[in-house]
Amino acid sequence: MITLRLGRNDICHCGSEKKYKNCCLNKKVSSKETIDKISNDNNIPIKAGEIFINTMKFVEDNDWKGACHATASILYVLMKEIGLNPVLYIGEVKLGDKYFDHSWIEISGKIIDVAAMNTLIPGCNQNPIYFNCDIKTMKEPNLVYGVHSPTGLDFQTKQLINTEFIRFMDDAPFEDGLWQFVETIADNSDIDIVTDIVKFKYRGTKRNLK
């Protein structure tokens, strides 16, 4: 049996005759009201929540599995562009007895992690985290961030730590690197970004090991 994946602009399968993006797709992510409440509770602009929701939709629509380093990098740039001060982290996280390498961002010491929803580790997919809050349960995340496994980081992750941020963004295997997705999500969030200008601001940006 072949299952066709609906695009955002396809007619929804539920029979509403609305586009998927305006119908059942929105039911797969936490409500805007929930995200807005978390933003307000943390004295964060509502625009940050729009970025978060649109990044979730992007990861789901494109089935970005195991793309934590790319997703965190995109979130980092977008949050910076609305005047916040995110910190880009890389390290290990733990769920039960399983450890895996991961990237995420923090703002005011609170975790924002979209890529947790689509990891490569069997049994480790979690709900996205917004300011230390699991957006489905409204509780603290099950993942433990910044732990240290007996084996440590893998070779690829160690290499990434020493890779310049702008090079990582430029060298992704897409026409305009990861910058094209920064621009896509920015556009969906009504943020004006010209990546050819913006990206030079990120020279010298580094991932922080945790």
Report yes or no: 169 and 177 within 8 Å, Cβ to Cβ.
yes
Q: Helices then strands (H, E): number in the chain?
A: 7, 7
The percentage of residues in the chain with a pLDDT greater than 70, rounded to a whole number, is 89
Nearest Cα to Cα of residue 75 among 30, 114, 19: 114
**Chain segment 64-80, per-residue pLDDT in tens:** 999 999 999 999 999 99
**Chain segment 11-68, per-residue pLDDT in tens:** 765 556 777 666 665 555 557 889 999 999 999 999 999 999 999 999 999 989 999 9
Nearest Cα to Cα of residue 88 among 77, 99, 100: 77
Six token digits for residue 63: 């089935």
- Reported pTM: 0.85
Query: In this model, does residue 5 exceed pLDDT 60?
Result: no
Six token digits for residue 11: 């007619």
